[in-house]
Amino acid sequence: MSSAAESPIVGKAPQEQFSATFRDDPGESVVPAGEPCTGAVTRPHASSSVSGAVITWLRKTFGVTARKGTLALIDQLVVSGTNFLTTVIVGRACGADELGIYALGFTLVLLTACVHESLVSTPYVIYGNRLREKRRSLYAGSVLVHHAMLVMLAMTCLAIFAAALSAGLGTAALAPTVWVLVGVVPFALLREFARRIAFAHMHMSTALVLDLLVATIQIGGLAALAAVGALSAGVAYVVLGVSCAVAGATWLGLHRARFTVRWRRVGRDLRQNWLFGKWVFAGLVSFIVHVNVVHWLLALVLGTAATGEYAACMTVVMICNPFVQGISNVLVPRAARAFADGGVTEVRRVARKTTLLLGMAMGSLCSILILFGGSVVALLYGSQYVGHGITVAVLATGMLVRSLGMSAFIGLVAVERPDVNFKINLAGLAVTVVLACMLMTTWGVVGGACGLLAGDIAAAAARWNTFLRSTRGVVIDGSMA
């Protein structure tokens, strides 16, 4: 298959195939390109005050992303804060080995969530915004069935993996935690499904309420168990499952009217989602593997204690994640609407302005982490984690590089070239694995972090180069980029 730079986006794209599938239903049509989407945000009038002028400039510069990003940022602060406090509680109460096991388990949770997002949530975000209300309800019903099918598949795969670990293949100490994850993942995916549906419709307040409920139950339960000495990695995941079950069931009960299941449509919608989602799936899975592969390499080469030290450093760096993920949660539907309304020209504009916003904010945050990150790790996790300042600095630089490449990543998805992301992620993963294996035997945890940074730089540079080249001079819906 030729690269994006060699193959302009012309011909019958997955978008057109999807639209054509549903035009055979009378009265149910796709929102045409250029037609305003329901729920569009109007621009407020500029204030005469200095602060009002600054706010107006930000809104004009960053558009819907800046306005909707506020609630998304608060929501992501809650989500990332919950994950951060969970890691700190497990690390302090259980030690580096148990933290390493928890971190390895969390990579599996991220992987299943990534598969769910690419095959279920992202197709809904991209295509649901192009459908009118009646057709969207039917499509949502199909997506709900797809969600249930994927949950069963995830449970089966985790059970097979747990059985292999129990039989002595790989890290045997991880087996009990993976068995726990078999029962926890259905509820974790339900919570994630609820969040992504809310984001697709730009209902950031709904996602925020759900995540506040999860945070309250999860952190409260972990703190209580740690106080009585009953906490372990597996128990931590049980608490996570309970919190997600309560939030997810509550959301599904309140929003069940949004889903209209027509079984004859389930298979057809699944095929259409797969045409697009297979490349999103490949791209996101390869990205998650790339970001988390060092955890597993450290466990195999140096042991779970080294993985725990690396996870502690990564957790501190992930303090930046609420901002990055909050913008991402808005940028995906924003880019989808931009493509529907203005073609690749509008997608490029959104990508450039979002990168400017991310660069200004992340540059400041990562500079602070580079200077003081090692001290923060020791303060949060205790004296056994002293001496990891260089590791935090390298990981913070990698976080900055990844954030600068995020807009190009999402832009390629919006213009329906997720296959390019997959190829670039594989290249970045190869760079990381080779260099990390070479460096960690000498430099330990720092070597693993350096390998990840090298892969991040290679992937971000390739992503932006390909995005700009593949969307230059391309005619879509009558627009010239």
Q: What is the pLDDT of residues 185-198, one digit of tens each?
A: 999 999 998 988 88
Helix ranges restricted to H, 172-262: 175-200, 204-227, 233-254
| pTM for this model (two decimals) | 0.66
At residue 228, the 3 state secondary structure works out as coil
Q: What is the pLDDT of residues 430-469, one digit of tens each?
A: 999 999 999 998 899 999 999 999 999 999 999 888 888 8
Q: What pLDDT is stored for residue 52 in this prediction?
A: 55
Residue 268 has pLDDT above 90, yes or no: no
Pairing of strands 479-480, 475-476: antiparallel
Mean pLDDT of the chain: 78
Q: Which residue's entry shows tokens 């991880």?
A: 174
Contacts of 169 (CB under 8 A, 6+ apart): none
- For helices 50-94 and 321-381, the axis angle rounded to 10 degrees is 40
Burial 166-180 (b: 16+ CB within 10 A, else e): eeeebbebbbbbbbb
Residue 51 has pLDDT above 90, yes or no: no
Identify the residue with better confidence: 174 or 67.
174
At residue 476, the 3 state secondary structure works out as strand
Q: What is the pLDDT of residues 386-428, one digit of tens each?
A: 888 999 999 999 989 988 888 888 778 777 677 788 889 899 9
Q: What is the pLDDT of residues 190-249, one digit of tens each?
A: 999 898 888 877 777 888 899 999 999 999 999 999 999 899 999 999 999 999 999 999
Q: What share of the chain has pLDDT > 70, as a percent? A: 77
Confidence of residue 470 (pLDDT cuts 50, 70, 90): confident
Q: What is the pLDDT of residues 305-351, one digit of tens each?
A: 888 889 889 988 887 776 776 666 666 667 766 676 677 777 777 77
Confidence of residue 91 (pLDDT cuts 50, 70, 90): confident
At residue 479, the 3 state secondary structure works out as strand
